[in-house]
Structure 1
Amino acid sequence: MSTFVCAHDNDFSAIAAGGIMGITIKEIAELCGVSQGTVDRALNHRPGISEKTKKKILAVASERNYRPDPVARSLARGRTMTIGVVLFDLYNRSFSQLMNAIEMSSREAGYYVHLMLTNKDPDNEKKCIEHLIHRKVDGIILFPINEGPEFDQYLRMLNIPIVTICNKVSDHWRYVGIDDRQAMKDAMDYVCRKGYERFIYVCPPLAYKGRTNIFTQEERFAGCLQGLRDNGITEQPIVIDTPAYVEALSGIDFRSAPKTAVVCSCDIYALEVMNHLKERGLRIPEDVGVIGFDNIDVLKYVAPRLTTVEYAVEQFGERAVRDIVGQIETGGSEHIPLLPYRIIAGSSI
């Protein structure tokens, strides 16, 4: 995934006049009467050069339209200045926001991004990773679908910096996320305080438990169960773990049942649930309460305002990039704490 900037006609004229690459380091050295090494130090702001000489070199470079050769710089550094990102898909709006943050943060750090989508296919995930390895990316930000010791060992054999995000593989790999279990427990505490007696938990990914990596979704479900227990709710929630979750809801009676809350593990499910309930003539929250998770940006257009769990998705991307760049450039990186979250009280509960 690369970013291209279109130039106006005047910009192209300027480039044509100065040449695509402009002046070279060798030519700057000849004009300034110094060595190419001195020019390199000045252009990269390294020590070992007087301020007067540095100013002269930078002035000549600017006047003569000097532009660094990215290929040459990559060869000199032993890096391609690219980061691979392996992501499930972009259907979930929070993933789109996250990907945007990763691309912007990478560009600010001087790196370009290669994006690969797995479509939640474990075999395709390995193909995506291997493609990035062949492209010689400097590091990978991975939203893993695979799990277990065999996959963990596979990643170790690649000998490349990796940051996992949203789903964990093992404690060996740096991880960016929140405490999903505690966040959902806090959400259930909030719902239970509203007096709900029956609970329906909507999470289609639970159908893939044991087949793919759904760490985040498993943690949220565990938090839901813990929250119910801690609030003295002994009846187990009705769990809907099928992709046809709206159809599954259609057979549930809400009018004559105890006060019911539909708890959704992601906002995208909650929005579909709300549409379904409205089509049935049910009022939210008077007849049925609904809560989501993620606080995706489109919620501002939805009525009633969805109660949800918010975390700074852009910060996920920024932290992941900061860590992977640290691993690439210094071999180490700072500790990544779990990121904060909060309950956003809407009017759907």
Structure 2
Amino acid sequence: MGITTKEIAKICGVSRTTVHRALNNTGRISEKTKRMILETAEKNGYRPDLLATGLAKGKTYYIGVVVMDVNNRYFSQMLSALEIEARERGYFINITLHQNDKEIEKEQLCKLADYHVDGIILSSVNKGEEYKKFIESLNIPVVTIDNKIADKIPFVTVNGRSAISKAVCEIAESGYEKVIFVCPPLAEKNLENIYVHEERTAGFKEAVKKIHGLEYVIIGNWDYQKQAKKELEKSEKKTAFLCTGDMFALNLIRMFEKNGKRAGQDYGIMGYDNIDFLEYVTPRLTTIDNHVEKVAEEAFNLLLQLMENKNVAETERILETVTVQGETI
């Protein structure tokens, strides 16, 4: 066990109040005394009692993070980015997973509130005014990412509608005459919050209507590989797939390879997210950068402002994104 502040005070011949001033860099204390205390603390392996410090300041220095799962590379990268943001600011994160289950999500949020975390970052599968009331009843600052719950709930995401709209234009400009939009989560539209996918779908519909002569199909179910195969087989036009997730795109590429068709040659394909292991995939997938690190930074900064009771004028922050060029369009 490390040395206590009481023992440091006895060694240095000062009061515990003086020791606390030196360790916390507060109050009036001479540089000589401060240096002596800090050197004594380091020499004897002093470790601060974070629980006691938190209780004294009315903080736990824990941030709750609730996301779907860690199998999805986007969420794995998000958790990593949030942990870095938290650590740099002296906080720890408590990670919980809701597995796309609405009730589990509510249970996890209640538990985090019972543990008195200082704030929560949430990627929700719930939505609506009633759920908004539940979030507000927690009496803890909450910032949502990706899926919007309701107006006036702090929210950070990227502009998926605009990103998909621009992607459609880029695909058409590359000479493709038909674009197949692949968004399997649309099958869950009436069951859970799929705000990000609905926004991307809206962007797609807006874009294709503006491009004369561009044929399009929307695949919105989990049997998307089978349907995509049929669409490509019957198509007589130069065809590209636009997927709302990199993993959907990679699954299609693997499926088509088994059928002797190669991405970028026999068809075009673009993903969404720019997950980290795309650099190991050949041909390199053209995709849309979801700016996971920027979203994490913006969400954490917003949460800190709310935790510090600052007057935040804008609690909805939409970040712009870009297409990452690869070899498949």
- What TM-score does the superposition give when structure 2 sets the normalisation length? 0.93
What is the Cα deviation at residue 198 of structure 1?
1.6
The yes-or-no answer on 1:292 pairing with 2:271 is yes
- What is the correspondence of 1:186-201 to structure 2 with a 5 Å cutoff? 186-201=166-181
Q: What's 1:15 paired with?
A: none
The partner residue of 1:310 within 289, 293, 305 is 289
Structure 1, residues 184-241: CA drift from partner, whole Å, max 9, x if none? 1111110010122222111111111132111111111111111212222464x32211
Aligned residue for 1:338, secondary structure, equals: strand
Q: What's 1:16 paired with?
A: none
Structure 1 counterpart of 2:11, which letter? L
The partner residue of 1:226 within 206, 214, 220 is 206
The partner residue of 1:97 within 68, 72, 77 is 77
The partner residue of 2:163 within 183, 208, 215 is 183
The partner residue of 2:240 within 246, 253, 261 is 261
Structure 2 counterpart of 1:187, which letter? A
Structure 1 counterpart of 2:159, which letter? D
Aligned residue for 2:263, secondary structure, equals: coil
Structure 1, residues 105-140: CA drift from partner, whole Å, max 9, x if none? 212222222111111111211111112122221111
Aligned counterparts of 2:272 and 2:254: Cα–Cα separation in 1: 17
Aligned counterparts of 1:81 and 1:288: Cα–Cα separation in 2: 51
The yes-or-no answer on 1:114 pairing with 2:94 is yes
Q: What's 1:211 paired with?
A: 191
- What is the correspondence of 1:152-191 to structure 2 with a 5 Å cutoff? 152-191=132-171
Count of aligned pairs between the two proteins: 328
CA RMSD of aligned residues (A): 1.9
Structure 1, residues 41-98: CA drift from partner, whole Å, max 9, x if none? 1111113222222112212222222210122112112222111111011222121111
Structure 2 vs 1, CA of residues 330 and 46 (structure 1 numbering), >3 Å: closer, same or farther?
A: farther
The partner residue of 1:345 within 296, 310, 325 is 325
Aligned counterparts of 1:63 and 1:253: Cα–Cα separation in 2: 70
What is the Cα deviation at residue 151 of structure 1?
0.4
Are 2:172 and 2:214, in contact at CA under 8 Å, matched by a contact in 1? Answer: no
Q: What's 2:221 paired with?
A: 242
Are 1:323 and 1:334, in contact at CA under 8 Å, matched by a contact in 2? Answer: no
Aligned residue for 2:322, secondary structure, equals: strand
Are 1:147 and 1:169, in contact at CA under 8 Å, matched by a contact in 2? Answer: yes
Are 1:254 and 1:287, in contact at CA under 8 Å, matched by a contact in 2? Answer: no
Structure 1 counterpart of 2:111, which letter? H
Q: What's 2:17 paired with?
A: 37
Q: What's 1:273 paired with?
A: 252
Aligned counterparts of 1:256 and 1:249: Cα–Cα separation in 2: 11
Structure 2 vs 1, CA of residues 170 and 44 (structure 1 numbering), >3 Å: closer, same or farther?
A: same
Are 2:61 and 2:90, in contact at CA under 8 Å, matched by a contact in 1? Answer: yes
The yes-or-no answer on 1:134 pairing with 2:134 is no
Aligned counterparts of 2:281 and 2:145: Cα–Cα separation in 1: 28
The partner residue of 2:35 within 14, 39, 55 is 55
The yes-or-no answer on 1:327 pairing with 2:306 is yes
Aligned counterparts of 2:204 and 2:299: Cα–Cα separation in 1: 27
Structure 2 counterpart of 1:317, which letter? A
Aligned counterparts of 2:184 and 2:230: Cα–Cα separation in 1: 17
Q: Flag structure 1 segments of 5+ consecutive residues without an equivalent.
A: 1-19
